[in-house]
Amino acid sequence: MAVIYSIDLQWIFGYLPDDIPFVIKVNIMMTIIFFVFAIFFVGFIVLLRLYKIFRNRKKEEQRLLLEDLLNSYLFDEDFDKERELKKFKDEHLNKSLEIKIAIKEILLFHSNIKGESAIQLRELFLRWKLDEFCKKQLADRAWYSKSRALFSLSEMLIKVDLEKIKPLLNHKQDEVRQQAQLYFIKLAEDNPLEFLDHIDKPLTLWEEIFIEDALKNEYHGPMPDYSNWLHSLQNSVVEFAIRMIAKFNQFENISELLPLLDHPSEEVRREAIRSLSALEHQEIIDLLISKFETETNLVKKTILDAIKHLGGYNDLLMLKDKMQDNEWDLKIKYYSIAQDFLPEKKQSIYTQYEKEKALLL
């Protein structure tokens, strides 16, 4: 109340009867102020709604104009390209919204058309200088503008100075990073994974799936040698390279995988074991048996999986004495694999497991 009294409101309260208590006067004034703000807020919402209606109507009009123009441009032999395209550019490509709609429509047509028509759409994209607009958008503060620009440039195969793309590989927004990766892959001639040398953030699982899919569907050059990234400073990149070596059967890189069994990263070691196992490298069995006792619990489980895939029951037996009494999760896995090796002795193996369990308990 001290704050309220310190404010000179006599010129406002002068409109109210003098016999009304001060507190009631304040309540009346607060009600009036709230009512004014309510009217302003409702008015703002109405204006915003009208603006959106007008904007959407403008977008639809622009889309229909573009649809007619593009259909005539691609399929009408009597279409006067020089005159009509220049006229449309002068009259309907002056504002940012109009340019964005034009880019979106051309990309939509481009995604459904191949061959000569797709080349024509790219020529139109360049003719209207939509590529210049996209390049400017790369420097926009909004992440979604960067992402859309990267997608548009990669779809239309527009070459940009890679020094402008490299910083976006480490953008804080996932969508921007993925579109930057896609740009490198789609426009690459022989080194689609060059961008892996420039990232300083760990690859996410989704990014790895995204990259693999892009390599299969968007890249048309020779398959990269994934061993080039086995010594990356990013462990996630190393893990990805190891998986790709196995996935694409690069047997020539087996010798490059073997040193990774001593890598400081537990996950890299596990990935190396999985890949060597997938590549059917039988010679790894003795090495894994010798490393078993000093490895972490998770790596030991991966070694057991490798023995199951590549080895035999005698190889498995060599691991039994290397397990600690308290490593029950390993013992369960060990006996499960033993039953797979000797299904005819399944019951006796289970009995042995129960006896060992009883002795320890």
Please give the model's pTM, rounded to 2 decimal places.
0.77
Please classify residue 358 by burial: count the beta carbons closer than 10 Å to its beta carbon, then call 0-12 exposed, 13-18 middle and 19+ buried. Answer: exposed
Give CA–CA dist 117/70, Å, rounded. Answer: 10
Report the percentage of the chain scoring pLDDT > 70.
90
Half-sphere exposure of 6 (CA within 13 A, CB side): 3
The band of 349, judged by pLDDT with boundaries at 50, 70 and 90, is: low
Residues 6+ apart with CB under 8 A from 228: 193, 241
Give CA–CA dist 238/218, Å, rounded. Answer: 23
325 pLDDT higher than 80 = no
- Could you give the residue ranges of the DSSP H alpha helices within 76-142? 81-92, 96-111, 116-127, 130-137
Question: How far apart, in Å, do the first and last CA atoms of the chain sit?
Answer: 74
Fill in the amino acid letter for 106: I
Give CA–CA dist 293/300, Å, rounded. Answer: 8
Give CA–CA dist 241/162, Å, rounded. Answer: 23
17 pLDDT higher than 70 = no
Instruction: Give, in degrees to the nearest 5, the angle at Cα 198 between 141 and 189.
Output: 100
Mean pLDDT, the chain, rounded, equals 88
Residue ranges per structural domain of the chain: 1-65, 95-193, 300-361
Fill in the amino acid letter for 147: S
Q: How far, in Å, are 92, 127, 153 from residue 85 at the CA level?
A: 10, 9, 21
Q: pLDDT (tens digit, 9 = 90+) per residue, 261-308? A: 999 999 999 999 999 999 999 999 999 999 999 999 999 999 999 999
Q: Which of 236, 237, 254 is nearest to 245 (CA)?
A: 254
Give CA–CA dist 336/329, Å, rounded. Answer: 11
Q: pLDDT (tens digit, 9 = 90+) per residue, 112-133? A: 888 899 999 999 999 999 999 9
The pLDDT of residue 84: 92
- How many helices and strands in the chain, by DSSP H and E? 19, 0
Is the four-CA dihedral 27, 33, 35, 37 of positive or negative sign? negative
